[in-house]
Chains A and B, each alone.
Chain A
């Protein structure tokens, strides 16, 4: 019976999407066309606005969040069906925001009822753009050594310090931060999780230019910023457990986007056929590139199957699986290899920087390749991931 219900759900979803998703919103999306949440939301087109509003009104910007808080109220299987059907039709993601991907799930897990009612519906409706304040100039992989202070001043905290790699901080309305609330406690134990309005006095941001030429990462400075106490998520000095839960969401997200960084519209096989070509026997002309390509394609398929296996394991109740712990490493490392491969396949055309002589896919190959280098560093570097596997999965002794 449950299966039948799901089949019916799938048909309903399919029908609704085909009735409501404008044809223009079923084309592959470019970066400029992404609709980001925010107080001053910008839409690249009327269709994008329409599509966003229709999805928002069904709660499908956040399909698996509670309906009474602005979500779609779907269970995991229904959410997957919606994702599958959107993918099948090529529907664009209607709303982009790390409030959806990261903060929301943490507020739902750790927040009070009041905090949920304050923040969750606004995230679901795309009214606030969020950014994340974790790393600091001297706290990267060793995140727990962070030093941004939040001093208890009775009815508020006084925040001083700076955060780095705050993605899109210059465009964001709110920031969720890890701050030190007890400087005398052991590393992880004196940290709290705070939500801060970026419009508050004392906050400044400054973009950082990356090797890819982009500057979506910023450094954010806090100079005597007053933060109301009700913005504390979870218990005082217990922020590390909130952060860990949130990091899992980030890693899951990065595992998924690792192979899908902003890049060209073609995949490695298409690029190989176009830029290298085949000989009379139908084999790629360059045997070394052919070998590199097939290795990547095989690994990529294995990664995809492993994603699917973790899903099946979860659905079938085999929750003791450690497989999700490998996916951040695997997704980002394979993503980097894919981008290296694309550059190699395109040759000179894969290294164009700007201007004439290169089409947009070629330029995106260059930029995507350079950007992919950040993915195995951000959100817990690959080396940290290997440490985690050694400790938590293999149970190897710690020094």
Chain B
């Protein structure tokens, strides 16, 4: 258990803050939004992040990574959350690489992980099929066919899926929707024949796609891990991603909160600063309290990944639920406390609001995670 950053991690966090402040301010997201780019991030930004080694930060050194740990990656994502910086770090480096590391054969690992670690290859994980996060979907099928497989079905929401070089598709080989057993993981090229990608435009201006697989024939070597053995690696990758997304959300909430407190100190009405009103002071203090509690949970959850702790699933649900809640609270209050200007597009606060709700739906709402936490705790 580590709840404070060590010196190296603090230095990395400062570097990341400076990088996002100067290289990827919120305006980058505005430019991407204006350009309606289906990729969702700027290649030049991704290249700069790769030069800093961030794509390989959690990967083992044998695959070209830095083996620096999730406490470090969490610090980067938190700082990126402050400027709403889009990148494939979560989809490719956390979700994709974790699945390959956990489930892949030696050959798959050697072939794919160094390319992910250097940032030249990006991977997206195709899981969601319905209106809400569901780790056990049922309508994309992987069926044995001769010496290979046939993949069919549609994924409704694949984060960073439009531009990813490769997809890892979560598909059903046995059982039905809602069952944990019977899922397989399969690797598909992003430009594979029979695959249709449609960009989906969401409120947060990040990139996501709907992707269909029209009876695609795949060789046996496309399978990642065992047939019907996809769930354990998937659960781990999802938990790591929930915590990392939580770190990003925490950064966004913190930034939004600080901007709001600054505004309370400068805006005047009735002849005084509005921050002198007790009605607003107490609400600001309550947000500060929630942020501090959430910070402890995010740090503990990140260290639980690094330490491979057995209570990782609980902590992932705890962290995601709390980050969802605090980001929703802070962004809603931020809009209200900014008053009229808070509902204008000119101010960035609205962008944080949109990101909050989108990130909440990704990888599980608070209701999903409270239910899961209760079940994991035996009630």
Interface positions of A (Cβ within 8 A of B): 269, 272-273, 278, 282-284, 290-291, 293-295, 297-299, 301-303, 305-306, 308-309, 312-313, 316, 318, 323, 326, 329-330, 383, 385-387, 389-391, 393-399
Contact A309 B296 (CB under 8 A): yes
The minimal Cβ–Cβ distance linking B246 to chain A, given in whole angstroms, is: 12
Taking chain A's interface residues, is the majority helix, strand, or loop, or is none over half, making it mixed?
Answer: helix
Given known contacts A297-B377, A395-B265, A389 and B3 CB-to-CB distance under 8 angstroms: no
B-side contacts of A293, CB under 8 Å: 374, 379
Contact A305 B296 (CB under 8 A): yes
A278, A389, A397: the one contacting B379 at CB < 8 Å is: A278
Given known contacts A272-B379, A318-B4, A330-B289, A295 and B370 CB-to-CB distance under 8 angstroms: yes
Docked CA distance A162–B274 (Å): 39
* A-B CB proximity, top 5 nearest: A390-B281, A389-B285, A309-B3, A305-B296, A302-B293
**B282: CB under 8 A from chain A?**
yes
A-side contacts of B272, CB under 8 Å: 397, 399
Contact B379 A298 (CB under 8 A): no
Contact A298 B370 (CB under 8 A): yes
Contact B4 A269 (CB under 8 A): no
Give the most central of B277, B289, B322, B377: most A CB within 10 Å.
B289
Give the most central of A318, A330, A386: most B CB within 10 Å.
A386
**B305: CB under 8 A from chain A?**
no
**B284: CB under 8 A from chain A?**
yes
**B373: CB under 8 A from chain A?**
yes
Contact B294 A390 (CB under 8 A): no
B-side contacts of A395, CB under 8 Å: 261, 265
**B378: CB under 8 A from chain A?**
yes
Docked CA distance A299–B325 (Å): 12
Give the most central of B272, B273, B321, B370: most A CB within 10 Å.
B370
Docked CA distance A301–B322 (Å): 11
A-side contacts of B285, CB under 8 Å: 385-387, 389-390, 393-394
Contact B4 A294 (CB under 8 A): no
**B264: CB under 8 A from chain A?**
yes
Docked CA distance A396–B374 (Å): 39
A-side contacts of B280, CB under 8 Å: 396
Whose C-beta in chain A lies nearest to the C-beta of B272?
Answer: A399
Contact A397 B276 (CB under 8 A): yes
**B278: CB under 8 A from chain A?**
yes
The minimal Cβ–Cβ distance linking A323 to chain B, given in whole angstroms, is: 6
B-side contacts of A301, CB under 8 Å: 297, 318
Q: Write the B350-376 contact mask toward A (1 if CB under 8 angstroms, else 0).
A: 000000000000000000001101110
B-side contacts of A290, CB under 8 Å: 374, 379
Number of B positions contacting A (CB below 8 A): 40
Whose C-beta in chain A lies nearest to the C-beta of B10?
Answer: A318
A-side contacts of B371, CB under 8 Å: 294
Contact B1 A269 (CB under 8 A): no
B-side contacts of A282, CB under 8 Å: 375, 378-379
B-side contacts of A396, CB under 8 Å: 261, 264-265, 275-276, 280-281, 284
Contact A283 B374 (CB under 8 A): yes
Whose C-beta in chain B lies nearest to the C-beta of A291?
Answer: B370
New A-B pairs, 11, CB < 8 Å, besides A294-B373, A306-B296, A394-B288 = A269-B378, A283-B374, A294-B374, A298-B318, A298-B322, A305-B300, A312-B3, A387-B278, A393-B285, A396-B265, A399-B278
Q: Write the B319-333 contact mask toward A (1 if CB under 8 angstroms, else 0).
A: 001100000000000
Docked CA distance A294–B369 (Å): 10
The minimal Cβ–Cβ distance linking A396 to chain B, given in whole angstroms, is: 4
29 A-B pairs with CB atoms under 8 Å apart are A282-B375, A283-B374, A283-B375, A290-B374, A291-B370, A294-B371, A294-B377, A297-B377, A298-B318, A298-B370, A302-B297, A302-B318, A302-B322, A305-B297, A305-B300, A306-B292, A308-B296, A323-B292, A330-B293, A386-B285, A390-B281, A391-B281, A394-B284, A394-B285, A396-B265, A396-B281, A396-B284, A397-B272, A397-B276
B-side contacts of A273, CB under 8 Å: 378-379
Q: Write the B26-38 contact mask toward A (1 if CB under 8 angstroms, else 0).
A: 0000000000000
**B253: CB under 8 A from chain A?**
no
**B341: CB under 8 A from chain A?**
no
Docked CA distance A308–B297 (Å): 11
Given known contacts A294-B374, A316-B4, A398 and B265 CB-to-CB distance under 8 angstroms: no
